[in-house]
């Protein structure tokens, strides 16, 4: 089955701890339906321990495949980065990892260079030679150009995890389509993350919901989104971060006996994409040329990304939450001194100062 169980958004109890009993039920349903791919990470709080409890201690090792990730961004040095691997082994008790990924490579803060500086690529190859890793990969949040470079420089990466969903397919910022095309040109398999865009496509704006429901009242919006991703060529697994038994049951209802989108369904998705693309939003590509020179250290593209959640999907709460996260260390939109440096640097010629005023008005109120 192409559906993968993403273990990042596991159900939580009232005290904030992971609801292990519900997680066990979800694991049982998933495996009974023919699911095998589980995806956790060193930085998903409590997730690797929950994986041990709900999966590893309850099923034979050959009943599933397990992926986890090393995150250099949170490691102070090379030794700390490599120690994450051994901590993950200890937490999960899995013995080895079927898939081991370098986590969230991108241009932001030049974080992809950190993996090279820490010797992470050599380290994972050593662990593979020692039998502790079966397949090496990386998850990716950067530009198609960087992806092309990384796949050329690292033939040891057998697969790449990409953010792909129908809303981001032609999005100038995420460039899902181009990234997928590059991975396939390099003959790499793809695991897909965020097929429902962090839940937004499970509960899309009414104008999208209406055309999906009219075309197939029996298929949930999440079903449309996940089937779109799973229909692509070269997909190893589509990860869905399910948070309760109902979501698991819904996902299994269309993925257990998966049928790729047919031509008529593809046309429905293309209509939905065209409607989303037509919604006025901030056309920031996330190139970050504007960022280093800002005297107020305003994370301009990250603020615009948060604002687009409101503009495109009408999700003000999530936009405010995203904005609060991106500006928790300062650099609020309202701190802009209108020096104009960013607008001179922006290849899209965006009216950044004006947009920041709108972002401040919409996202700082009541924050």
> Can you give the binding site for ligand SF4, defined by CB under 6 A?
284-290, 294-296, 298, 300-301, 336-342, 345-346, 348, 350, 352-353, 356
- The answer to whether 36 and 64 are in contact (CB under 8 A) is yes
Residue 49 or 343 having the CB closest to ligand SF4: 343
Instruction: Give how far Cα 210 sits from Cα of 194, 204, 215, 221, 342, Å.
Output: 22, 9, 9, 10, 39
Q: How far is the CB of 104 from ligand SF4 (least distance, A)?
A: 18
Residue 29 or 108 having the CB closest to ligand SF4: 108
Residue 87 or 348 having the CB closest to ligand SF4: 348
Residue 222 or 350 having the CB closest to ligand SF4: 350
Residue 176 or 231 having the CB closest to ligand SF4: 176
- The answer to whether 85 and 72 are in contact (CB under 8 A) is no
H helix intervals, 154-299: 176-185, 206-215, 221-230, 245-255, 263-278
DSSP string, 309-335: HHHHH--HHHHHHHHHHHTTTS--GGG
- Other beta carbons within 10 Å of 240: 29
Q: How far is the CB of 286 from ligand SF4 (least distance, A)?
A: 5
Residue 108 or 245 having the CB closest to ligand SF4: 108
Residue 4 or 301 having the CB closest to ligand SF4: 301
Q: How far is the CB of 320 from ligand SF4 (least distance, A)?
A: 20
Q: How far is the CB of 295 from ligand SF4 (least distance, A)?
A: 6
Alpha carbons 193 and 6: distance in angstroms, whole number: 8
Q: How far is the CB of 321 from ligand SF4 (least distance, A)?
A: 21
Alpha carbons 105 and 112: distance in angstroms, whole number: 5
The helix/strand/coil state of 61 is helix
Q: Which two tokens stand for residue 200?
A: 């937004």
Q: Which two tokens stand for residue 56?
A: 């590893």
Instruction: Give how far Cα 12 sits from Cα of 7, 18, 325, Å.
Output: 12, 4, 21
Alpha carbons 254 and 336: distance in angstroms, whole number: 48
With CA atoms as reference, report the closest residue to 167 among 193, 145, 196, 138: 196
- Other beta carbons within 10 Å of 82: 19
Q: How far is the CB of 308 from ligand SF4 (least distance, A)?
A: 11
Residue 267 or 339 having the CB closest to ligand SF4: 339
Q: How far is the CB of 190 from ligand SF4 (least distance, A)?
A: 25
Q: How far is the CB of 288 from ligand SF4 (least distance, A)?
A: 5
Residue 179 or 298 having the CB closest to ligand SF4: 298
Alpha carbons 226 and 153: distance in angstroms, whole number: 31
Q: How far is the CB of 189 from ligand SF4 (least distance, A)?
A: 30
């Amino acid at each position: 089955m192409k559906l993968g169980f993403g273990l990042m958004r596991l159900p939580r109890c009232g005290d904030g701890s992971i609801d292990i009993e519900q997680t066990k039920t979800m694991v049982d349903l998933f495996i009974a339906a023919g699911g095998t791919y589980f995806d956790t990470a060193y930085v998903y709080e409590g997730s690797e321990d929950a994986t041990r409890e709900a999966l590893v201690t309850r099923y034979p090792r050959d009943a599933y495949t397990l992926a986890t990730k090393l995150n250099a961004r949170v490691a102070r040095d090379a030794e700390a980065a490599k120690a994450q691997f051994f901590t993950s082994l200890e937490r999960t008790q899995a013995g080895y990892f079927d898939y081991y990924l370098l986590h969230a490579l991108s241009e932001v803060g030049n974080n992809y260079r950190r993996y090279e500086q820490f010797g992470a690529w050599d380290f994972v190859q050593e662990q593979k030679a020692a039998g502790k890793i079966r397949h090496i990969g990386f998850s990716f949040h950067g530009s198609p150009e960087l992806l092309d470079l990384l796949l050329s420089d690292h033939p040891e990466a057998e697969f790449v995890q990409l953010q792909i969903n129908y809303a981001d397919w032609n999005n100038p910022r995420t460039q899902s389509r181009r990234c997928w095309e590059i991975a396939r040109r390099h003959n790499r398999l793809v695991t897909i993350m965020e097929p429902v865009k962090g839940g937004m496509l499970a509960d899309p704006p009414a104008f999208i919901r209406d055309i999906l429901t009219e075309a197939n009242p029996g298929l949930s919006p999440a079903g449309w989104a996940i089937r779109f991703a799973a229909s692509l060529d070269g997909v190893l697994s589509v990860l869905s971060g399910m948070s309760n038994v109902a979501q698991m049951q819904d996902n299994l209802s269309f993925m257990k006996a998966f049928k790729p989108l047919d031509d008529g369904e593809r046309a429905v998705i293309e209509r939905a994409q065209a409607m989303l693309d037509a919604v006025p939003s901030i056309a920031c590509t996330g190139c970050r040329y504007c960022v280093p020179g800002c005297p107020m250290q305003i994370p301009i593209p990250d603020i615009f990304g948060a604002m687009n959640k409101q503009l495109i999907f009408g999700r003000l709460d999530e936009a405010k939450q995203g904005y609060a996260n991106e500006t928790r260390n300062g650099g609020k939109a309202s701190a802009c001194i209108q020096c104009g440096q960013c607008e001179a640097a922006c290849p899209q010629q965006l009216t950044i100062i004006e947009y920041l005023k709108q972002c401040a008005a919409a996202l700082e109120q009541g924050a």
